[in-house]
Structure 1
Amino acid sequence: MPPRCEWQPIETAPRDGTAVLVFHTDWDLLQVGLYYGESHTWQQPSGDLLRTPMYWMSLPSPPTLTA
């Protein structure tokens, strides 16, 4: 069974460019975000800036292909 994903405070999120799932109570959707240390900002993988999220969790593993 995969590990259970749980929301964590954004202060505990990885700051090394790892993509994670992020959430802010003002958003309608969950976002994938990365923290960029040089600019001290959260961004989408496309480079669009994100309002600083409130919570984060690891991205789930991709589906396993079966034949």
Structure 2
Amino acid sequence: MQDAAFDAVAIGASAGGVTALQTVISALPRGFRAAVLIVQHLDPRHKSLLADLLGRHAQMTVKEAD
């Protein structure tokens, strides 16, 4: 099996960083060729809505990792 290389952008944010994340995601053009990995610190007792919130602003598919 041959290793496949790909570009990725990693972003970290606290629970208060949703607006900043929406700004960054909405600025990425359609066809952006790198994977965007976002890690956000949240209270583990609450379900994350981040993928839904960012998906409204993105020109790419947004998914929460399994």
With the length of structure 2 as denominator, give the TM-score of the two structures. Answer: 0.26
**Normalised TM-score (structure 1):** 0.25
